[in-house]
Structure 1
Amino acid sequence: MPSDIQRLVNELVTQMKSGSAPAYRTAIKRLADTARAGGPESLTATVEALAPLLPRLSGDFAKTAVLAGACVEWGASPMALADVLPKRASEAMKFNELVPKFWDKAARGRSLPEPVSDSAHQLVRTLTGLPRWHRGVSKNTMTHIAMSWFDMEDWLKALITVMADAGFRAAVPRDVKAQLREHAGAVAHRSQRAAWAGALAAVLDDEPLVVIDPRARRGYALTMSGIGDNGQLHILLADRLVGDPGLGMVTGERPARSWVEAATGGDPHLGPDNPAIRCFRLFDGQGSYISPEGMPADIHPLDGTRVLVLHPPNGTYGLTVGRVFEHMMPALRFDRILEAAETQHWLARLAPAVENDLMAD
């Protein structure tokens, strides 16, 4: 590790222990400036040095996690954070969900403070003043619960940055991803970042996908990774599958190049004047409609495999955004056209499409 990075990290720790917010802000800026100037090696060294600190931090000091995420944006490897950041972000969401309940018990009708740091001392004092705290919760844990009202967004900001990396997602254990989805779901109504974190924790990677075109009685095997929502999946499917029916591909109009670029590495915003028009409606193998607003994890497996069934579009359905996570690189690999017997195997197992849902238009 570069010696100047270690020295500045040690200085940051010293200022956190001192409790001086101005000194902490000065130290973190010096570390950020030095790490960025040093390039990928210094940035990765900074992430590696900060990672062990994160589980114990809360409140304003959660900005340390934001710096780690920024280093990843600037070119650092995120892998040192895989064992600590998802768990700490999950804990912050779990604690954040508890704050209103504990406040109601302790505050006797007073309004819950806004989640800004100037209110932190009031909230901590009130919650730790609960008689015998609450069901054996320690004073230290109750302090962390209170501070989650103010620091959750910082943990999520860092998490969203690193979860865009495929290698990082692969390193996060499945049970931790499940906890992220659970706790994100509980607070998503008051945090857009929590909703994004839950969606990223549900992203499928190296996931087999079977697509059936029942009109042509053809099937296709694909593999998907890093696809953030089903609108993006619609665009990429059309790009991979629509082509010459004489060569076994799906009949239809190929998507515009600008739509495909928006769904992959270009500007994701298409806008109202150039929306991507979906080429088909999608149903899963059990007959349920797959909404463009959902995500690939919503496709329920059939016999252990996610299956999509293509139906003609009803009217014009436009998508103004090509992908929801700008920095997550998607992949939808076309593997092969299924043999006739394989296609028949799936056709025999498909449930009829349930088309009485108005959203299936």
Structure 2
Amino acid sequence: MPSEIPRLVDELVTHMRSGSAPAYRAAMKRLADTARAGGPESLTTAVEALAPLLPGLGGDFAMTAVLAGACVEWGASPMALVDVLPQRASEAMMLNEAVPDFWEKAARGRPLPEPVSASTHQLVRTLTRLTRWRRGLDKNTMTRVAMSWFDMEDWLKALITVMADASFRAAVPGDVKAELREHAAAVAHRSQRAAWVGALAAVLDDEPLIVIDPRTHWGYALTMSGVGDNGQLHILLADRLVGDPGQGLVAGNRPARSWVEAATSGNPYLGPDDPAIRCFRLFDGQGTYISPEGVPADIGLLHGTRVLVLHPPNGNYAMGAGRVFEHMTPALRLDRILESTETQHWLARLAPAVENDLMAD
């Protein structure tokens, strides 16, 4: 079955070059069906064959990236995409950010088209006119800018799929992740997928975490990976730390099993009848409130380590979902309970909690 994949990819390329959208879509389906029928080996072969094509694609043909992402979701290794897909998605967001400004300069007050393919030619024609009187702009660049208005979501959809894989995240260079966060922040107001990409690019893996309970003077050393947001972290912390105070754990009500399942491998959506209720409020070692709506990367470093300080909950803060990224496997390991001298070391360095955030109530 893998031997069929190169021929089907060549067929796909032929139809892209011909510009025939129906033939391209039919070739995509044949490739997808064949790769999926062949199992992980065929799927990985398909991803490896598609990866070199992605940097030069745009517009409707960006759906090729979605196919590569689908192959990963069906069981392929994503690693062939490490040096291609994050960079191409980052570029798409960067170009997408520039579209409204270029359109305003070129369109003389006309409304910006909706990002649907029926408007592609209008946007491309209008933006490429800028090359007539603006130095430094060429038609290829402006076409790529215009296409980003329509294809950005395809690049982001594919990237979200592969960034759920821990090995893939580990292989993406730090500077590329930083660019993803920067460009995602610039367009997140008009793209939920961009916001998700920014959050995935900020995910911490194999990250040491110190948790201090100032009421009992107990401390805990943990390691976290693949935690998508602080709401999920709240649930996992409660699952790891709430227990018998006689054993050095935190007194309180343990989280419901359904909450923990939603935060790990079950259906992530809890619904209005069974929301997760936080067991404590969290502040970092510098006294900053850590909102459940943020991400673990928001936890400030204290002497090079992320430190959380537990405070009692005020009221019932409810969370309707256990995790943001359904296919990203989280890990929060309680490595050990700190010795008393270690806890005192951290307690002496903690800044007082700054409780001036309404959400900290």
Please classify the TM superposition score into its range, dividing by the shorter chain length. over 0.9
Give, in whole Å, the separation in 2 of the partners of 1:267 and 1:28.
30
Which residue in the other structure is 1:220 paired with?
A: 220
Which residue in the other structure is 1:267 paired with?
A: 267
Matches within 5 A, 1:275-354: 275-354=275-354
- Opposite residue 292 of structure 1, the aligned amino acid is P
- Asked if the contact 1:181–1:197 (Cα under 8 Å) also holds between the matched residues in 2, the reply is yes
Which residue in the other structure is 2:204 paired with?
A: 204
Which residue in the other structure is 1:118 paired with?
A: 118
- Asked if the contact 2:131–2:137 (Cα under 8 Å) also holds between the matched residues in 1, the reply is no
Give, in whole Å, the separation in 2 of the partners of 1:81 and 1:290.
34
Which residue in the other structure is 2:138 paired with?
A: 138
Which moved further from structure 2: 22-31 or 305-314? 22-31
Give, in whole Å, the separation in 2 of the partners of 1:344 and 1:224.
23
Question: Shift of residue 320 of structure 1?
Answer: 1.1
- Asked if the contact 2:131–2:138 (Cα under 8 Å) also holds between the matched residues in 1, the reply is no
- Opposite residue 247 of structure 2, the aligned amino acid is L
Q: Secondary structure at the match of 1:130?
A: helix
Question: Shift of residue 131 of structure 1?
Answer: 4.2
TM-score scaled to structure 1, two decimals?
A: 0.98
Give, in whole Å, the separation in 2 of the partners of 1:233 and 1:42.
36
Matches within 5 A, 1:155-174: 155-174=155-174
Question: Shift of residue 356 of structure 1?
Answer: 2.5
Question: Shift of residue 2 of structure 1?
Answer: 2.1
- Opposite residue 177 of structure 2, the aligned amino acid is K
Give, in whole Å, the separation in 2 of the partners of 1:153 and 1:279.
37
Which moved further from structure 2: 132-141 or 77-86? 132-141
Question: Shift of residue 133 of structure 1?
Answer: 6.1
Question: Shift of residue 3 of structure 1?
Answer: 2.0
Runs of at least 5 residues in structure 1 that lack an aligned partner in the other structure: none
Question: Shift of residue 134 of structure 1?
Answer: 4.1
The yes-or-no answer on 1:54 pairing with 2:51 is no
- Asked if the contact 1:184–1:197 (Cα under 8 Å) also holds between the matched residues in 2, the reply is yes
Question: Shift of residue 318 of structure 1?
Answer: 1.1
Give, in whole Å, the separation in 2 of the partners of 1:52 and 1:156.
18
CA 67–285 in structure 1, closer or farther in 2 if over 3 Å, else same: same
Which moved further from structure 2: 129-138 or 341-350? 129-138
Which moved further from structure 2: 242-251 or 133-142? 133-142
CA 19–274 in structure 1, closer or farther in 2 if over 3 Å, else same: same
Which residue in the other structure is 1:253 paired with?
A: 253
Give, in whole Å, the separation in 2 of the partners of 1:353 and 1:48.
50
- Asked if the contact 1:269–1:322 (Cα under 8 Å) also holds between the matched residues in 2, the reply is yes
Superimposed CA distance per residue, residues 78-126 of structure 1 (whole angstroms, 9 cap, x where no aligned partner): 0100110000000000000000100111111111111111111111111
Q: Secondary structure at the match of 1:209?
A: strand
Which residue in the other structure is 1:357 paired with?
A: 357
Q: Secondary structure at the match of 2:130?
A: coil
Give, in whole Å, the separation in 1 of the partners of 2:291 and 2:180.
23
Give, in whole Å, the separation in 1 of the partners of 2:271 and 2:222.
29
Give, in whole Å, the separation in 2 of the partners of 1:260 and 1:3.
43
Question: Shift of residue 304 of structure 1?
Answer: 0.6
- Opposite residue 295 of structure 1, the aligned amino acid is V
Which residue in the other structure is 1:92 paired with?
A: 92
- Asked if the contact 1:127–1:133 (Cα under 8 Å) also holds between the matched residues in 2, the reply is no
Which residue in the other structure is 2:33 paired with?
A: 33
The yes-or-no answer on 1:184 pairing with 2:184 is yes
Q: Secondary structure at the match of 2:8?
A: helix
Give, in whole Å, the separation in 2 of the partners of 1:216 and 1:137.
64
- Opposite residue 39 of structure 1, the aligned amino acid is G
Q: Secondary structure at the match of 1:36?
A: helix
Aligned residues: 361
Superimposed CA distance per residue, residues 39-66 of structure 1 (whole angstroms, 9 cap, x where no aligned partner): 1111000000000000000000000000
Q: Secondary structure at the match of 1:290?
A: coil
- Asked if the contact 2:128–2:143 (Cα under 8 Å) also holds between the matched residues in 1, the reply is yes
- Opposite residue 140 of structure 2, the aligned amino acid is N
